[in-house]
Amino acid sequence: MREFNIGPAFAFADPGRKVIEADGVEVGVFKVDGEFYAYQNICPHNGGPACQGKMIYKVEELIAEHGVSKGLVFSKTQLNVTCPWHGYEFDIRSGRHQGDGSVRLAAVKVRVESGDVIVTMPAPGL
């Protein structure tokens, strides 16, 4: 495994992201509520650059008593990234697709050490 220092944690907007290349693989590194998440920049649907799409809070429907819709609102907690090719949305914290939890972005290990963001890439073929 190889580690890559991609810079100081304070340099990331929150929410924010950087797309980097590590060992020939593009990786999207996200910061949400002070926590870091990283994924390979490959949409499982059709190989698009999923980590480069719009970051948008999940749209939720408010349901009143008796099942009556009160309209749509943006989540205050769940931030998604949307693949720019076909609009697949993935929860940034889990990498899961919004409609099918078995579809997800490939996670990459990320941590903060001594104030720097470190990405760990698996050995090729693993």
In tens, the pLDDT along 18-50 reads: 999 988 999 999 999 999 999 999 999 999 999
Whether pLDDT at 126 is above 90: no
Instruction: Look at the domain 2-121 and name its fold.
Output: Rieske Iron-sulfur Protein (2.102.10)
pLDDT number for residue 124: 67
Q: Mean per-residue pLDDT for 56-65?
A: 90
Long-range Cβ contacts of 82-86 (<8 Å, 24+ apart): 82/53, 82/54, 82/55, 82/56, 83/43, 83/45, 83/48, 83/49, 83/50, 83/53, 84/48, 84/49, 84/52, 84/53, 84/54, 85/43, 85/45, 85/46, 85/48, 85/49, 86/43, 86/45, 86/46, 86/48
Whether pLDDT at 74 is above 90: no
pLDDT number for residue 106: 96
| Domain regions of the chain by residue span | 2-121
pLDDT number for residue 36: 98
